[in-house]
Amino acid sequence: MTTTQAGPVADAPQASPPAQARRRGLGGRLLDQLERFGLVVLLIAVALFFTFLPATSAVFPTSANLRNVAANESILVVVALAALVPLVAERFDLSVGATVGLAAIVTGKLLTSGAAPTLVAILAGVLVGALVGLVNGIVIAHYNASSLVITLGMATLLQGVGSYLTGDTTLLGMPQSLLDFGNLQWLGIPRPVWLFVLLALAIAFVLGMTVFGRRLLAIGSNEAAARLVGMPVSRTVLLAFVVSGALAGVAGILVLARTGGASAGVGAGYTLPAVAAIFLGSTTIRPGRFTVAGTLVGVFFVAISVNGLTLAGAQDWVDPVFNGGAVVLAVAAAAILAKRRLGSAR
């Protein structure tokens, strides 16, 4: 059959794209709203379910538990924000988790060895993250390399570097000020939660209200068209990876603050849940787009579900199964939604 397929015949008239089947009527609008807020509704339903389930009703709805969940997830939220920025421009950053680990180890080493004051050590961790992003960005943006493969390679490389720096030891003995930040509250809300809310607002602002953010959206939508309106595609992509790396660095500091230590391999487990949350989030609020709000819903949908199940007595296997399943389902759902919305050709 190789010869009967139509090759690219240059002068074929172009059919206009099929008129969009915009769902009309009350039922259609309801369906639209359901699509937009489906995951939000589901999140609330799950929360209500565990609130009233006899096995969990004693613990789940308490403010202590919810604070704990929010504080625990603060690391994942920041990692997800890190992965989100390049993903808006259709570039994967699978090295975010490993960058978290390296930043935690670098800062941890500086702090435990007393080589630098707390603030300088923190800054160094964030800078290491940004530097990793810069390398990713240069290779991916300027040589147009596959972000998937480059950042996967980078992730492995960084884990090796982390192992080298820590040996077999766990870095312990972080300064009290850092541990306080990780575990105390301001106005009844865990301090890490304040941080992630602040960062989420900042990233939402950058994506929605700056030229840089708009360029990321445009590149994600149609890279060739972005080039042809004169947008600096390479520079924008590079910057996206630097931002991603720096955010992963911040998440690394949060790991130290929350857990009080760092060892080789720390952070690696965050990459997949972060990507899962982003894709889950892309099915909601503004379906088809990677957004900050969607990502937050994604993170907490998984977190609340796993928390509830764990309280109900589920075993350790629930967490990876839930996260892995979420990625597969969310990516499939996002692809189906995008196809329905935009037609087959993007």
Partner 1 sequence: MTESLLDAPPQQALVLEAVSKTFPGMRALDDVSFAIHRGSFHALLGGNGSGKSTLIKILAGVYQGDPGGTIRARGESVDPQATTPAWSRRAGIRFVHQDLGVFGAMSVAENLFSGHPYPRTRIGAVGWRSMQAEAARVLARHDIDVDPRRSMADLRPAEQTLVAIARCLMDADEGGVELLVLDEPTARLPPTEVEELLAALDRYVAGGLSILYVSHRLSEVVEHADTITVLRDGRHVTTRPADGLTRAELATLIVGSRSQIAAKRATRTIGSDVVLRVEGLRSGPVHDVDLTLHAGEIVGLAGLVGSGRTHLVETIFGVHRPREGRVSLRGRPLRPGSVAAATDAGLAYVPEDRAAHSAFRSLGLDMNLSAADLHRYRRGWLRRPPELADAQADIARFAIRTPGVRAPFAQLSGGNQQKAVLARWLRRSPVALLLDEPTQGVDIGARAEIYAQIEEAVDRGTAVLLVTSDLDELLHLSDRVAVISRGRIVDEATGDRITRDWVGSRMFDAHQEES
Report which of 200, 223, 279 is spatially closest to residue 89, judged by C-alpha positions. Answer: 223
Query: Binding marks (x or -) toward partner 1, 16..45, rule CB under 8 A?
Result: xxxxx-x-----------------------
Smallest gap from residue 88 Cβ to partner 1 (A): 11
| Cβ atoms of 247 and 87 closer than 8 Å | no
Number of residues that bind partner 1 (CB under 8 A): 50
Closer to partner 1 by Cβ: residue 20 or 62: 20
CB closer to partner 1, 36 vs 227: 227
Work out whether 218 is an interface residue with partner 1 (CB under 8 A): yes
Rounded to the nearest 10°, the torsion over CA 319, 324, 329, 332 is 160
CA–CA distance, 326 with 273 (Å, rounded to integer):
9
CB nearer partner 1, residue 230 or residue 313? 230
> Contact with partner 1 (CB under 8 A): which of 79, 106, 141, 226?
226
Three-state secondary structure call for residue 85: helix
β-pairing, 261-262 vs 189-190, is unpaired
Which of the stretches 47-55, 204-212, 240-248, 306-314 binds partner 1 when contact is defined by CB under 8 A?
Answer: 204-212
The tokens 């492995």 sit on which residue? Answer: 156
Which segment (78-86, 150-158, 223-231, 254-262) binds partner 1 by CB under 8 A? Answer: 223-231
Interface region with partner 1, contact rule CB under 8 A, candidates 11-19, 75-83, 100-108, 195-203: 11-19
Residues 320-339 that bind partner 1 (CB under 8 A): 338
What distance in Å separates the CA atoms of residue 61 and residue 48, rounded to the nearest whole number? 9
Q: What CA–CA distances, in Å, run from 46 to 51, 110, 154?
A: 8, 42, 37
Closer of 302 and 334 to partner 1 (Cβ) = 334
Smaller CB separation from partner 1, 40 or 338:
338
Find the binder of partner 1 among 34, 222, 332, 339 (CB under 8 A): 222
User: Buried b vs exposed e over 101-128: b needs ≥16 C-beta within 10 Å?
Assistant: bbbbbbbbbbbbeeeeeeeebbbbbbbb
Q: In whole angstroms, what is the distance from residue 325 CA to residue 319 CA?
A: 10
Binding residue for partner 1, selected from 52, 164, 186, 205, defined by CB under 8 A: 205
344 binds partner 1 (CB under 8 A): no
Q: What phi and psi values does residue 62 have, to the nearest 5 degrees? A: -70, 150
**Can you tell me whether residue 209 is helix, strand or coil?**
helix
- Ranges within 236-295 binding partner 1 (CB under 8 A): 288-289
Residue 191 is a binding residue for partner 1 (CB under 8 A): no
Among the listed residues 91, 109, 191, 215, the single contact to partner 1 using CB under 8 A: 215
Segments in 168-270 forming alpha helices (H): 176-183, 191-209, 211-221, 223-228, 233-259
Which residues of this chain interact with partner 1, rule CB under 8 A?
1-20, 22, 205, 209-211, 213-215, 217-218, 220-222, 224-232, 288-289, 338, 341-343, 345-346
